[in-house]
Structure 1
Amino acid sequence: MRTALAQISSTADPRANLELAAAEIAAAAAAGARLLVLPEATMCRFGVPLAPVAEPRDGPWAGELERLADEAGITVVAGAFTPGEGGRVRNTLLVRGAGVRASYDKVHLYDAFGFAESDTVEPGREPVVVDVDGVGVGLATCYDVRFPGLFTALAERGASVVVVAASWGAGPGKVEQWDLLTRARALDSTCFVLACGQADPGEPSEAPLGVGASRVVDPLGAVVAQLGPEPGRLVVDLDPAAVQRARAVLPVLANRRL
């Protein structure tokens, strides 16, 4: 399966961000990709009030994303914000296009390093796996990558690929942690990990706006391809049989006791 990752830098304008997404969808389709991953907060960057931009899963922003994906004939994963309870929103990954229509609400909220995502975001509750061309694709968002149980749960539900869409917070050692965690989660689940983050905006911020470093990691934890901090694209062919080979030699899922 040919996959694409688009490391963009979202703005505070959802309409402008749709234009960014449209360009990346066109580029991925032209490259022959069947799955395109855009970052967390593609709809609107962090650091601004989120409730005013949140829309239903079948709202106009999601609808236009779906139209673009369907016209291109590929499945797109993109980070958005949907209405939650009590004035909060949900940090939602929309999965649209080529016969796939699903969503995932971020389970683990980023209440760490002095940031309190739970002040404005309501957590999700359920792992989600979708089928893309017969391949199980699990969904995770940013801080989720620190929780190995989610990744093993996704593998047990049929995932051989896990998407991690992120807007990773900057700070001392944070890029090194991103590298370690994405590789560890691939090993925990013996899945390919497609980790797509927001590009580094090049300005200091208390909000997690991104550090770049998007990458594809294979089921044995090796980095297949990666980007630096600036906006960019990756196109990588995944061999689903590599997952079965990894699980034959490293049967951590079968060997689990707890």
Structure 2
Amino acid sequence: MISGDEASVRLPDGRAVECSDGGDRSGRPADLIRIATAQTTVTTDPVRNGAAVRAAMRQAAAGGARLVHFAEGALSGYAGAAKPHFAGWHIDWAPVAAELRRTTALAAELGIWVVLGGNHRLTGGHRPHNSLWVINDQGEIIDRYDKRLLSYSEITGLYTPGDRPCTFEVDGFVFGLLICIEINFPELWTAERDRDVDCVLFSTYSDDPMFEVIARGHAATNGMWVSVALPAQCAHATPSAVIGPHGHILRRARPDGPDVIWADLDRADPDLDLALNKARPWRRVARDGGVYARARVTDPRSADRTGI
């Protein structure tokens, strides 16, 4: 449970943990990284959202996470029906910027990476991007992913599309970013696999339970971990979750309120051996096609499609 900007948090087992130092990360093997997925309540008030984000960051760091991942629009709120004051794009960007600065400062204090959803202001009358900010453990915004494939309502009245993917590396693990309706475009997910992404951080503001089903399919067919982060108010339909490269749920958030979950991405996990060390490499060979070309033969019984 998260609430406010506390200096300590209570873990699911009831322990109260001081977390100003970001937790103990010593002794972690190179093939393992702990991430956290935050399910915060997203409102139209960036100040309230910022407080919830920073409370979740503290909880994530207290649990030993190196990275914490948030939902679509987690800081600014999402445009659409959830932000009726977006009409005409007359938005007060000052609190969004102020809360983002406070969040980057806390990332540096905790020594934790943050992937945070929000609207990114453009100049003039241009609509904003629907984005994910990538904040490193020094408190620097090192990149930003702008949603590329927008819904009909987004492209016609809400957002400006982005034009490039975004990947980054933490402790030897490569992360990719996708947002909401992009779950429905398999080519985006195979492109992440082809960039040797280990884990896709998928942020959404949807309560469509099919999103988890599709995300599990992408994880299994591409041999990648997937973190699904959504707002607490959408969790009744499909809570936030971390999915393994075998397509199974590793951790799932509560369905009835804010939550933070942790998951270890462990390359040495024997349950993932088939997905990571056999299926994914073999599928790379299979897609290349050479192994099949060399095995084909010239045979009249093969050429005859109607014979018995």
For the superposition of Structure 1 and Structure 2, which TM-score range results when normalised by the shorter chain? 0.7 to 0.9
Point out 4+ residue stretches in structure 1 off by more than 6 angstroms. none
Amino acid in structure 2 at the alignment position of 1:216:
V
Match of 2:248 among 212, 222, 226: 222
Count residues with an aligned counterpart.
241
Which of residues 1, 23, 26 in structure 1 aligns to 2:58? 26
Aligned position for 2:231? 198
Counterpart position of 1:205? none
1:106 maps to what in 2?
147
Q: Please give the per-residue CA displacement for 1:18-54, whole angstroms capped at 9, x wherever unaligned.
A: 1111101111111110010111111133321444155
Q: Deviations over 1:63-104 (max 9, x none)?
A: 222111111100011101112464311001011131462210
Q: CA shift at 1:244, angstroms?
A: 7.1
For 1:165 and 1:91, locate their aligned partners in 2 and report how far apart those are by CA, in whole Å. Answer: 11
d(CA) in 2 for partners of 1:137, 1:241: 18
Corresponding residue for residue 189 of structure 1: 222
Rounded Cα–Cα distance in structure 1 between residues aligned with 2:147 and 2:287: 25
Counting aligned pairs with the same residue, the percent is 28
Match of 2:283 in 1: 252
Q: Structure 1 residue 179: deviation in Å?
A: 2.2
Question: Is the 1:200–1:211 contact (alpha carbons within 8 Å) kept by the matching residues of 2?
Answer: no
Letter of the 1:117 counterpart:
E
Partner of 2:187: 149
Shift of the alpha carbon at 1:2?
A: 0.8
Range with bigger deviation, 62-71 or 82-91: 82-91
Aligned residues of 2:37 and 2:260 also touching (Cα < 8 A): yes
Instruction: Tell me the equivalent position of 2:136.
Output: 97
Q: What is the alpha-carbon distance in structure 1 between the residues aligned to residue 165 and residue 284 of structure 2?
A: 17
Which has the larger strand fraction? 1
Structure with more of its chain in helix, by fraction: 2
Shift of 1:125: 1.4
Task: Choose 1 or 2 for highest CA Rg.
Answer: 2
The CA deviation at 1:60 is 3.3
* Helix, strand or coil at the partner of 2:233: coil
Q: Offset of 1:189 from its aligned partner? A: 2.2
Tell me, in whole angstroms, the C-alpha distance in 2 between the residues paired with 1:244 and 1:255: 19
Q: Could you state the TM-score of these two structures normalised by the residue count of structure 2?
A: 0.71
Structure 1 unpaired stretches of 5+:
203-209
TM superposition score normalised by structure 1: 0.84
Q: Is the 8 A contact 2:220 2:246 kept in 1?
A: yes
Please name the residue that 1:206 is paired with: none
Task: Report deviation, 1:211.
Answer: 4.4
Are residues 1:235 and 2:267 paired? no
